[in-house]
Structure 1
C-alpha cells in the first residue's frame, strides 16, 4: 500500500463501524458497498497526492455529492482540508478535513473532522474533487483555528437549511459556515455571523442566485426537514430568486479576490 493510501485509510475501520452523518441525506443503515469504499479510497488517495504536490498547508476542498447540473453547478460541498504535521519519520504528513454536516436529513447540523478517505465515502454523484490553495498568509491565519473546536463553533448555527439565505442568520448550510469561518479567521472584527457576512460583502463575495419556483419550494419544505425558504427576503423568494452560498461561487470569489489559486480538479 502506498504512503498516500495508508494516510487516506487511517481511521477507515472506525468510519465503517460507526454511523455517519450524510450531508443533506437520510441516514442509511446499509453499510457502504465494497465498490463504493474502493472508489472513495481511490479518490482520497489521488486527492492526497495532489495536495502533497501543491505544497499547500490549507486548502478549500470540494466534492460532487449531488447532481446540481440543473443549476449549472459542479460542486455541492466544501470543507477545509489541512495538513497535520507528521510524526518523526513520516513524510509528508496526513491530511484532515473539517466541515459542517447535516444530521441525516434533519434540520440540525454539526461540525466534524474526518480523513480524506471518509470525506469521499458518502456515495458522491461524481468521483471527482476540486481544491483551491489558500494564499500563504491566509493559510497561516486560518490554520490555528482549524485545531480549535471552540473557535470553529463561534460562527456555527445548528439550525440547518440546504438553501439558507446567504446574508441571513436564521439557518446555516455547510458552505455558508465555511465562508463565515474563513471571514472570522481573517477579520478581527468578524466576531459573529453578522459581522462575518459584512466582511464577506466588503470583500466582494457574491452568492449564487438559484431560480426555484413556488411549487418546487413548497414540495421541498413539506417533504424535507432540511429545506427552508422562510429566511429569504420576500421580494426575492416570491420572484423565485434564492441567494445561497455554493462551492462554485466560493471558488470563483477566492480566485477573483486573490485569497487563493483558481480551482484545481482531481479526477
Structure 2
C-alpha cells in the first residue's frame, strides 16, 4: 500500500472506529484496527483505576440493578464525537458486580464474541493525556427489569450476536454487526417483547424502524474515503444503501443515537455524565452535555482523585 493511500486508510480507520468494539489484539500487522493500542504510563493507569472505583461507587449508590454505560475511547474530537462504545453494566453480573456485558471483536480469532468485562478493564483503554468521558443511563423500574432479564439471558444474547463484524455496520441490515448495534438490538427485544423464534436480528431491526430509531450519520466528506474501505479491514460498504454512499454518508449506531432512543422509549431515564481531566473528576447530571474541555458547570460535583 502506498504511503499516501495508507495515510487515507488510517484516517478512515480512525473515523469508522467510532463504532469499533473492545478489540482483543492479535499479532501486529494482521488487522488495521487490531494494530491500534493506547500507550499509557503507570501513573495514568493508576488514575484510571481510581476513576473506575468512583464510577462503581456511583453505581452502587444509585439503587439500580443495571445501567447503559458509554465511554470515550479513541481521540475523536476532530470528528465532534465524544462517546464511541456502549454496553450494559449489571449489578449482579456473574463475572463481577457492575461488569459490562458487550460485544467485542477478537483479533486472534477474527470473529465477534460476547464479553463480560469488569469496570476497570472497560474504562482503562483511554489514550494517554486525553480527557475521559463516561455517560450512564439509569432506567425506570419497568424498562430496567426488562433489560436485566434480556441481558442475562445468554441464549437471547447469543441469538442476537452477528456472525460477521463490521465497524461501520448499517443498522438496518443483518449482513454485519458492530458492538453498539448488538446493544440496540437487545434493547429492541427487551422493550418490544419480541418473539424468540425466527430471525431475532431482523425482528429487532423491524421493531426499531417502527419505533423511529434514528442512527447517527457520519459524513466522511470525500468520495475517496468511501472507496478506501476496500483497503481497510473490518469496514465494509456492502450493507449500506447506495443513496447514502453517494452522499458520502454512513448511518451507524453510536452511543448518542442509543441514548436518544432510550430517552424516547423510557420516559424518566436519568443521565449522569462523568469526566476525568488529569486528576480532576467531574460529575454532571441531566441531559445537557458536559463541556468539551471537561470543565465544571454550575451544580456539578468536582473532586480530586487521591
TM-score above 0.5 = yes
Contact 1:40–1:117, Cα closer than 8 Å, also in 2: yes
Give the aligned partner of residue 101 of structure 1: 104
- What is the DSSP-based 3-state SS (H/G/I as helix, E as strand, rest coil) of the residue aligned with 1:123? coil
Give the aligned partner of residue 240 of structure 2: 232
**Counterpart-to-counterpart distance in 1, 2:240 and 2:184:** 18
Kindly tell me the number of residue pairs found equivalent between the two proteins: 240
Q: 2:160 aligns with which of 155, 158, 170?
A: 155
1:76 aligns with 2:84: yes
Deviations 1:188-214 (A, max 9, x none): 335411110111122231001111232
Please identify, of 24-33 and 73-82, the stretch whose mean Cα deviation from structure 2 is larger.
24-33
Q: Cα gap change, 1:159/1:94 in structure 2, threshold over 3 Å: closer, same or farther?
A: same
Give the aligned partner of residue 261 of structure 1: 269
RMSD: 2.7
Gaps of 5+ in 2: 1-22, 26-31, 276-306
Matches within 5 A, 1:13-162: 21=24, 25-26=33-34, 33-84=41-92, 94-104=97-107, 108-124=111-127, 126-162=131-167
- What is the DSSP-based 3-state SS (H/G/I as helix, E as strand, rest coil) of the residue aligned with 1:47? helix
Q: 2:223 aligns with which of 206, 214, 224?
A: 214
Q: Cα gap change, 1:34/1:255 in structure 2, threshold over 3 Å: closer, same or farther?
A: same
Give the alignment's TM-score, normalised by structure 2: 0.70
**Counterpart-to-counterpart distance in 1, 2:147 and 2:51:** 26
Q: Report the Cα offset of residue 32 of structure 1.
A: 6.2
Contact 1:36–1:123, Cα closer than 8 Å, also in 2: no
Q: Cα gap change, 1:31/1:245 in structure 2, threshold over 3 Å: closer, same or farther?
A: closer
**Counterpart-to-counterpart distance in 2, 1:105 and 1:240:** 32
Gaps of 5+ in 1: 1-19, 87-92
